[in-house]
Amino acid sequence: MEKRVTFDNRVLPYLLLAPQIFITLVFFFWPSGQAIWQSVLIEDAFGGNSRFVWFDNFANLFQDSAYYASARLTLVFSALVASVGLAVSLLLAVMADRVIRGATVYKTFLVWPYAVAPAVAGVLWGFLFNPSVGIVAWLLQSIGIEFNYVINGNQALLLVVIAAVWNQVSYNFLFFLAGLQSIPKSLIEAAAIDGAGPGRRFWDIIFPLLSPTGFFLLVINILYAFFGTFGVVDALTKGGPGQATSILVYKVYNDGFRGQDLGGSSAQSVILMMVVILLTIVQFRFIERRVHY
């Protein structure tokens, strides 16, 4: 889409674009270029000298069992975050769409977790499940379940998933609710007249019509699980115990910033960059289709 009527000026548009382009170049393109460049270098342990090594850093990465473990963990983690998050918020949205009385009040009470910082969300859930003072950990203990996320890797992962989903539910809920409200009531009524009950109407009419929203949210949730959950992990488990919750983005940070392994961290960055590019393309291609449905 283009404007028919425009202004003529040779200099002004460049001046207007300058601040944005400047920041983009300095803080996005330059560091990204450096990440790509460093990913093919090895720096010796004392800094200073670096050597061009082609794809050695990548080769090392693909031979590293810790990297595989982290990649596998990230896939499991994002599958859990996306599926649990979408299922819970779809259920709540369908219910909120059904009720007439109180719908706005419910919405108000459901949107605010979005405003809580992921790191703070991690702290809140860590408190509930804290082995010594957490009320939920205490309840679990009193029914005979030993819950200690500080030493049990699977429990730590479970807790990170819960906190991450909690933080993202309102976002998914709002999009599902908007999707549900845009489905024409006449379709539902026609199905009801033909004798379809609420369950049948949901699976045969509402669910297919909602699938574009669902697909869009799936991509967003995977992106969120990959990159947006850094704060949850750092505040809650610091990637531990062991490497049990060290998802890829946390590993980039840990290896590069703590471990000072620039080449390895940069190679990981480049791989993650490719993941984002892929997901963004999927998202935008899909959005073009969404306009027509």
Partner 1 sequence: MVENRPFVTILSHVIIILGLVVIAFPVWMTFVASTHDQTTMLRAPVPLLPGPYLIENYGQVLTEGFGRGFGGAPIWVTLMNSLVMALGVALGKIAISIISAFAIVYFRFPGRMYFFWAIFVTLMLPVEVRIVPTYGVVAHLGMIDSYAGLIVPLIASATATFLFRQFFLSVPDELTEAARVDGASPMRFFWDILLPMSRTTIAALFVIQFIYGWNQYLWPLLITTKESFYTVVMAVSRQANAVDATPSWNLLMAMAMLAMLPPVLVVVFMQRLFVRGLVETEK
Give the footprint of partner 1 on residues 48-77 (CB under 8 A): none
Residue with Cβ nearer partner 1 (38 or 157): 38
CB of 179 to partner 1, least distance (A): 10
From residue 224, give the alpha-carbon distance in Å to each of 128, 153, 168.
23, 22, 8
Minimum distance between the CB of residue 132 and partner 1, rounded to whole angstroms? 7
How distant, in Å, are the alpha carbons of 114, 164, 176, 217, 287 from that of 121? 10, 8, 23, 21, 30
Binds partner 1 by CB under 8 A, chosen from 87, 91, 145, 151: 91
Question: What are the Cα distances from residue 72, in Å, to 66, 85, 119, 172, 244?
Answer: 10, 20, 23, 25, 11
How far is residue 273 from each of residues 43, 106, 223, 279, measured CA to CA in Å? 22, 38, 11, 10
d(Cα 67, Cα 194) in Å, to the nearest integer? Answer: 55
Of 80, 156, 225, 252, the one binding partner 1 (CB under 8 A) is 252
Asked if 138 touches partner 1 (CB under 8 A), the answer is yes
Could you give the string, one character per residue 189-208, with x where binding to partner 1 holds by CB under 8 A and - elsewhere?
Answer: x--x-----x--x-------
Q: How far is the CB of 160 from partner 1 (least distance, A)?
A: 14
Where in 149-178 is the site for partner 1 (CB under 8 A)? 166, 169, 171, 174-175, 178
User: Is residue 280 within 8 Å of residue 203, measured between CB atoms?
Assistant: no
Beta bridge partners of 41: 52
What are 186's two structure tokens?
């006449």
- In angstroms, give the least distance from the CB of 62 to partner 1: 18
For residues 54 and 138, the answer to whether their CB atoms sit within 8 Å is no
Distance between CA atoms of residues 123 and 194, nearest Å? 51
Is 110 a binder of partner 1 (CB under 8 A)? yes
Binders of partner 1 in range 6-35 (CB under 8 A): 6-10, 12-14, 16-17, 19-21, 23-32, 34-35
Using CB under 8 A as the binding criterion, the count of chain residues that bind partner 1 stands at 103
Residue 40 C-beta: closest distance to partner 1, Å:
13
Determine which residue in the list 59, 76, 87, 133 makes contact with partner 1, applying CB under 8 A. Answer: 133
Chosen residue from 61, 80, 81, 92 binding partner 1 by CB under 8 A:
92
Query: Would you count residue 87 as binding partner 1 (CB under 8 A)?
Result: no
